[in-house]
């Protein structure tokens, strides 16, 4: 039991607002409650970029402030879903490549485990793993629980 407690003392949960990611948060909540752990919910804002093939660069609004606002409300939704959680809750908002940022934070902060959704907002049902959960599970130095 003591070994298990240290296994889930700090859990990272990356969320993108998809139903599957909320399922992952529910799993992490239950695990965290059982083992008295800190839950860290993370969202990575992807800056929008478009490149055209014919040399014209189409205008794409890149309102970072708006994207940041959406990210913040997503993390607030996560906090609302964790209402009543007895342990510590943290949130991280990052910008850039989601898998890259998630893996950087996992290595830097040495979480005990990552709990992540198998799919996300692209929602292609035929594919078992999205690109973010595939990269995170492949390269993470700590155990990754992939939630359906």
Ligand X SMILES: Nc1ncnc2c1ncn2[C@@H]1O[C@H](COP(=O)(O)OP(=O)(O)OP(=O)(O)O)[C@@H](O)[C@H]1O
Provide the minimum distance between the beta carbon of 16 and Mg ion in the complex, in angstroms, as a whole number: 6
- Is residue 119 within the footprint of ligand X (CB under 6 A)? yes
The partner in contact with residue 123, picked from ligand X, Mg ion, none with C-beta cut-offs of 5 to 8 angstroms by kind, is: ligand X
- Is residue 31 within the footprint of ligand X (CB under 6 A)? no
- Is residue 14 within the footprint of Mg ion (CB under 5 A)? no
- Is residue 37 within the footprint of Mg ion (CB under 5 A)? no
- Burial level of 18, CB count in 10 A (0-12/13-18/19+)? middle
Q: For the chain, first and last CA: distance in Å?
A: 26
Neighbours of 66 (CB within 10 A): 11
3-state secondary structure 40-62: EEEEEECCCCCCCCCCCCCCCCC
CA angle 121, 98, 105 (to 5 degrees): 135
- Is residue 105 within the footprint of ligand X (CB under 6 A)? no
- Is residue 132 within the footprint of ligand X (CB under 6 A)? yes
The partner in contact with residue 31, picked from ligand X, Mg ion, none with C-beta cut-offs of 5 to 8 angstroms by kind, is: none
Binding span for ligand X by CB under 6 A among 3-11, 14-22, 60-68, 76-84: 14-22
Provide the minimum distance between the beta carbon of 96 and Mg ion in the complex, in angstroms, as a whole number: 14
Strands (E) located in the chain: 10-14, 38-45, 89-95, 113-117, 144-147
Beta bridge partners of 93: 43
Which residues would be at the binding site for ligand X (CB under 6 A)?
14-16, 18, 20-21, 24, 42-44, 46, 98, 116-117, 119-124, 130-133
């Amino acid at each position: 039991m003591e070994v298990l407690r240290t296994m889930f003392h700090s859990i990272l949960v990356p969320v993108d607002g998809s139903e599957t990611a909320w399922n992952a948060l529910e799993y992490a909540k239950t695990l965290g409650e059982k083992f008295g752990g800190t839950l860290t919910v993370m969202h990575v804002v992807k800056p929008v970029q478009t490149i055209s093939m014919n040399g014209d660069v189409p205008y794409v609004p890149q309102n970072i402030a708006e994207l940041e606002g959406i990210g913040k409300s997503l993390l607030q939704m996560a906090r609302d879903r964790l209402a009543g959680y007895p342990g510590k809750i943290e949130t991280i908002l990052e910008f850039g490549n989601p898998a890259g940022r998630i893996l950087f934070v996992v290595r830097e902060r040495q979480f005990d485990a990552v709990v992540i959704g198998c799919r996300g907002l692209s929602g292609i049902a035929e594919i078992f793993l999205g690109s973010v959960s595939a990269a995170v599970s492949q390269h993470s130095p700590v155990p990754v629980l992939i939630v359906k």
